[in-house]
Homo-oligomer: A and B are copies of this chain.
Amino acid sequence: MYLINNWYKKIILLSNIAEDSGVRGCMIFKPYGLDIWEHIKTKINYLLKKTGHKNFYFPLLILKSKLKKEFNHMKGFAKECAIVTHSRLKIKQRKLIIEEESKLKNELIIRPTSESIIWDSFKKWIKSYRDLPMLLNQWSNIIRWEMRPRFFLRNSEFFLQEGHTAHSTKKEAIRHCKKILNLYKYFIEDILSIPVIKGRKTKLEKFAGANITYCLEAIMQDGKALQIATSHFLGKNFSRSFNVKYINKKGISKNVWGTSWGISTRLIGAVILTHSDKYGLILPPKIAPIQIVIIPIINKNDDFNIKILDNIVDKLIVCFKQNKISFRYDNSPKYRPGWKFNEYDVKGIPIRLTIGKQEIEKGKIEVFRRDTRKKKYYNITKLKKNLIVLLKKIQRNLFKRALILQKKFICKVNNYQEFKKILNTKGGILYSHWDGSTYIEKKIKKETSASIICIPSINKKEIGKCIYSQNFSKQRVYFAKSY
């Protein structure tokens, strides 16, 4: 099995998506990785603008005194902050040292998320019911001091999309949380081809400062779960801490209700862990920076007219542009076709076309699908239509494959011994009864490393006995070892 050792890291390095930077937990985004992120960003940005959100940009640095305001929130992030304490360096005896006199009176925290600074502005901006709902979005880089950093999944620095909203009623705020969760679900399933489980977090696992954390969870090929998106109902926690009030239609001053939600470059990690195979990355067409690569095969001794090849390629390129298919025509003489085949395999380009003497003579072109690794020959005349269909097919096939995997990994378990055994062998998501107690949840986590990844939102009513305590349980929840 290829899912071992440094498989994940190797794919990232070989496909030239990212690499280590030498700064703990921070990586360098290479052009290919940045392109994938730009695709994700453009599409989610479009969806958020369409649903009435506006982009803002708040400062990177947060005053310690503001972070402090919402107690639970602060507590949740206190142990993973990058703290700025000084503003000048000096040279002393050929050494570069910090100038003690430049010590800041008010220390600053590099944002681990932006609730504190945004609620500080909500206070200024929200006066009346006419200002509500206030729907903000931000794209930014953030720092969380991860103990065990990992490419894309647990970086110290990563890119975050974070939405922050304020509403006049609880109902509206919760509805908004759910709406965003569904928007994420659509994006992740339809564009990234990753099937997700929708639910909410337990008290233990929810976001620091939230009343409810709704979440999307996915299962990776190695049987570990990955939290892929979250949407938090903040209740009045932040509006009370930051004293954000509005005058309602009756002239009465009321606290607003808050939400916040986000996705991050973690999505790239999810794509890699869901779709890749032993040959490298596989990108769903809708997110691939290059959807089709064309590789010409020209042997010195071939006697065919190079103009015919150029002509075919030109026509293809016109068609790709018309249909907004992103492509690369790689006719560089620097590398041999075999090297290129491997290169584009590793990079996960959905479709590869090969055109050489044979193809031209037969009027057929070799089409290679990255997902199934199968070759087919298409008539040049029908190529255009077939390729558009094929891209859709690949997109669907990747989702289907991942869904089969997900189903394979979900397993109903009623016995704690079996529960532990499965976790230690095939892993995956265990669907078991739980009595609702945080104490038991912690016990299980300590003994097995599995946490409750979510209480599913679509859940059959079923009473039973808690897998651990044997106490009364009113529903099953999902347990898994998580990234």
Nearest Cβ distance between residue A285 and chain B, in whole angstroms? Answer: 22
Contact B59 A74 (CB under 8 A): no
CA distance A63 to B65 in the complex (A): 27
- Give the size range of A's interface with the partner: 35 or more
Give the nearest-CB partner of A88 in chain B.
B79
Q: Is A397 an interface residue (CB 8 A)?
A: no
When the two chains form the complex, which single residue of B26, B34, B58, B140 contacts A61, counting CB atoms closer than 8 Å? B26
Q: Is the CB of B58 within 8 A of A28?
A: yes
**A54-92 CB contact bits vs B (8 Å, 1 = yes)?**
111111111111111000001100111111111111110
Cβ distance A123 to chain B, nearest Cβ, rounded Å: 11
When distances are taken between beta carbons in the complex, the residues of chain B under 8 Å from A120 are 22
Q: Does A409 lie at the interface of the complex (its beta carbon under 8 Å from any beta carbon of B)?
A: no
Judge if A145 is at the interface, Cβ distance under 8 Å.
yes
Beyond A28-B121, A91-B75, A91-B78, whether A23 also contacts B84 by CB under 8 A is: no
Q: Is A31 in the interface zone, CB < 8 Å from B? A: yes
The CA of A25 and the CA of B91, in the complex, are separated in Å by 26
The reply on A389 being an interface residue by CB < 8 A is no
Q: Contact: A87 with B82, CB < 8 Å?
A: yes
> Is B107 in contact with A98, judged by CB distance below 8 angstroms?
yes
CB–CB B107/A110 < 8 A:
no
**When the two chains form their complex, are residues B79 and A96 in contact, meaning their CB atoms are under 8 A apart?**
no
Q: How far is the CA of A30 from the CA of B84 in the complex (A)?
A: 25
CA distance A22 to B27 in the complex (A): 31
Given contacts A78-B96, A117-B21, contact A157 B59 (CB under 8 A): yes
Task: Decide yes or no whether A141 CB sits under 8 A from chain B.
Answer: yes
Q: Which of B29, B107, B140, B145 is in CB contact (< 8 Å) with A88? A: B145
- The reply to whether B59 and A23 contact each other, CB–CB distance below 8 Å, is yes
Interface centre among A23, A54, A63, A80 (most CB of B within 10 A): A23
Whether B89 and A110, one on each chain, are in contact in the complex, defined by CB atoms closer than 8 angstroms, is: no
A121 CA to B91 CA in the complex, in Å? 25
- Tell me if A60 and B157 are in contact (CB < 8 A): yes
Q: Are B83 and A23 in contact (CB under 8 A)?
A: no
Among candidates B21, B59, B64, B79, residue contacting A27 with C-beta atoms closer than 8 Å? B59
The contact string, 1 if C-beta is below 8 Å from chain B, for chain A 131-155, is 0000000001101010000000000
User: For the complex, is A281 an interface residue (Cβ under 8 Å from B)?
Assistant: no
Contact A143 B60 (CB under 8 A): yes
> Cβ of A226 < 8 Å from any Cβ of B?
no
Determine the distance from Cα of A108 to Cα of B25 in the docked complex, in whole angstroms: 13
Interfacial residues of chain A within 1-60, with CB under 8 A of chain B in the complex? 21-23, 26-31, 34-35, 54-60
Q: Could you tell me if B81 and A83 are in contact, using CB atoms closer than 8 angstroms?
A: no
Cβ of A154 to closest chain B Cβ, rounded Å: 15
B60 touches A108 (CB 8 A): no
Q: Which residues of B contact A81 (CB under 8 A)?
A: 86-89
A88 CA to B121 CA, complexed, in Å: 26
Question: Are A78 and B59 interface neighbours, CB within 8 A?
Answer: no
Contacts of A28 in B (CB 8 A): 56-59, 121
Q: Which of B35, B56, B66, B143 contacts A29 (CB 8 A)?
A: B56
Report the Cα distance A117→B21, complex, angstroms. Answer: 8
Q: Give Cα distance in the complex from A30 to B108, angstroms.
A: 22
Nearest to A66 among chain B residues (CB) is B22
In the complex, the chain B residue whose C-beta lies closest to that of A106 is: B24
Q: Other than the known A23-B63, A59-B157, A78-B89, what 20 A-B pairs have Cβ atoms closer than 8 Å?
A: A23-B61, A28-B56, A28-B58, A28-B121, A30-B56, A64-B96, A65-B96, A67-B89, A74-B96, A75-B91, A78-B96, A80-B87, A81-B87, A82-B84, A82-B108, A83-B84, A84-B84, A84-B85, A110-B110, A140-B141
Which residues of A are at the interface with B, using a C-beta cutoff of 8 A? 21-23, 26-31, 34-35, 54-68, 74-75, 78-91, 96, 98, 107-110, 117, 120-121, 140-141, 143, 145, 156-157
CB-defined A-B contacts under 8 Å, sample of 21? A21-B58, A21-B59, A23-B62, A26-B61, A59-B157, A60-B110, A61-B156, A64-B89, A64-B96, A65-B96, A68-B96, A78-B88, A78-B91, A78-B96, A80-B87, A80-B88, A81-B88, A82-B108, A83-B85, A83-B88, A98-B107
